[in-house]
Amino acid sequence: MNVVATTVFVALFALVTVLGFLASRWKRADLDSLHEWGLAGRRFGTVITWFLLGGDLFTAYTFIALPALIMGIGAIGFFAVPYSMLIYPFAFVIFPRLWAVAHKHGYVTQADFVRARYGSPFLALLTAITGIVATMPYIALQLIGIQVIIGALGFEATGWLGELPLLVAFGILAAYTYSSGLRAPAMIAVVKDILVYITIIAAMIFIPAQLGGYAKIFSAVPVDNLLLKVPTVDSANGFSNYLTLTIGSMLAIFLYPHATTALFSASSGDTVRRNMIWLPAYSIVLGILAILGFMALSSGVQNLPEYASGFKHYGKNFAVPALFLHSFPDWFVGVAFAAIGIGALVPAAIMSIAAANLYTRNIHKEYINPKTTPAQETEIAKLVSLVVKLGALAFVFLLDNQYALNLQLLGGIWIIQTFPTVITGLYTRWFDHRGLVAGWIVGIGSGSWMAFHDGLKSSYTLDLFGYHLPGYAALYAFILNYTVAAIVTVITRAMKLKVTSDGTQPEDYEDQPESSTSLKPDAQNVVAVE
């Protein structure tokens, strides 16, 4: 065991644990209200929202798996960089509208909006189920990130002793999420991001200096991993895969419930816009994280005997931990590993809260007990947040790690199928709810089939005009979804079937001034805070 690194890691972990519990006293409010527990009263200002969204979208999985992907397959893995930059202009335009209508009516989840916009509880149910199911493996991946770091510190990687540190981390996460709600990950996200930026800056400076500079790093990478394959008539190419992964990921990322939860907690539409201006700072970090994969390859850590057991047990996901162990003194390894570990806790907490909100609002209250009181609603959400974490823990314990990582690919395929309902619904009610249901069924079915067709993969190859065009299955299924939704809508219009009522008005989608506190009666009137 690396005693020095472990001591630093545990000390920083203890610090954020204390912060997690103290967060319940931060801007003290009634945490028996779902608006307060699950959305922190919708009063996070620009700075806290920036940290929250950054911690929400850039996770331990990004820190561990993206460099591993780059190390393994090279150039195509860099799709994560352009998509993480293109999403912000898109979100700058789209998501203040969603925030505005949610603020006006007191919606807690995107399924709340769907329920009101289309007057269809069933369509809202499908939206909620999709969000919950797509989130579960994502939480599991955060726990796998912690597991890799614990193994890198020198803890036993197998047997019940190997699982004990993860169980302790899980218990801590569950406890402060239950007690403090969204305030806990928001407060911890500040510490996490400070540690992440310190780690990345150090990695940019010291690792290339040790390896002989960036030119030497890139010269060590096989040429096939530096460039995308050029398309030919008889072979697949990397261009279509890269493009479709970029577009599909861009369209999907903010549809995840944890992203929506962070957006809904903002104090105004202007807060959302300002964050879309400043969040690209994280994209710079993402690009550097990707290059860590090439640094690991250049350093040759995968061939060093002291790291052989780590690579054997965790595969290329051990690349960054091995690189840091090889490149930094033990005390800084503890700091870097804490950044990754805490970077797993923040999104895992937000994800479990978001999934709990969906179940409580759109399944339990809608179908099981419509008379649920606000206090009961919050208590159920707290309990469900624990169940969701247990489900994610089951992914880690019962499935092979690599299989669980592959399951995350399905998350994007599934969650993007809510785009026609949620995003299109912000601008038009032309689509009939029956068409959207049909499109969802086709999108989910075809996307899942494509993923499982050649094993659990995100890519599916189309054969068009003699060319093989591999691409992100999520985007292909998304196009089928929209097509079916439009066809069925035209048919319902032609048959003059009854159109459901719309519970929103055009003016609901306009931003309220930042000083405004007009909320539905079940939400508190509060002032934006940083």
Closest by alpha carbon to 274, among 105, 108, 44, 83?
44
Residue 458 CB partners (closer than 8 Å, separation 6+): 245, 409, 412, 413, 451, 472, 473, 474
Rounded CA-CA distance 241/60 in Å is 24
pLDDT tens digit sequence for 471-514: 899 999 999 999 999 999 999 999 999 989 999 999 999 876 55
Give the burial string for 264-287 (b: 16+ CB within 10 Å, else e).
bbbbbbbbbbbbbeebeebbebbb
* DSSP structure string for 252-284: HHTTSHHHHHHHHTBS-HHHHHHHHHHTHHHHH
pLDDT tens digit sequence for 428-482: 999 999 999 999 999 999 999 998 887 777 788 887 777 777 889 999 999 999 9
pLDDT at 530: 37
pLDDT at 437: 97
Judged against a pLDDT cut of 70, whether residue 406 lies above it is answered with no
Three-class DSSP labels, 413-477 = HHHHHHHHHHCHHHCCCCCCHHHHHHHHHHHHHHHHHHHHHCECCCEEEEEECCEEEEEEHHHHH
Of the ranges 149-163, 168-182, 352-366, which one carries the lowest mean pLDDT score? 149-163
Total-model pTM:
0.89
Closest by alpha carbon to 315, among 157, 454, 136, 169?
157
Rounded CA-CA distance 156/152 in Å is 10
CATH code for the structural domain at 3-231+247-401: 1.20.1730.10
Closest by alpha carbon to 395, among 61, 30, 48?
61
Judged against a pLDDT cut of 60, whether residue 167 lies above it is answered with yes
Give the pair of three-digit tokens for residue 515.
């000083």
pLDDT tens digit sequence for 235-290: 456 788 888 989 999 999 999 999 999 999 999 999 999 999 998 888 888 888 88
Looking from the CA of 22 toward its CB, the CA atoms found within 13 Å total 8
Q: What angle do CA 40, 61, 267 make, to 5 degrees?
A: 20
Mean predicted confidence (pLDDT) in 202-220 = 93
pLDDT at 527: 35
Give the bridge partners for 464, in sequence order. Answer: 467
| Higher pLDDT among residues 345 and 271, named by residue | 271
Mean predicted confidence (pLDDT) in 397-408 = 62
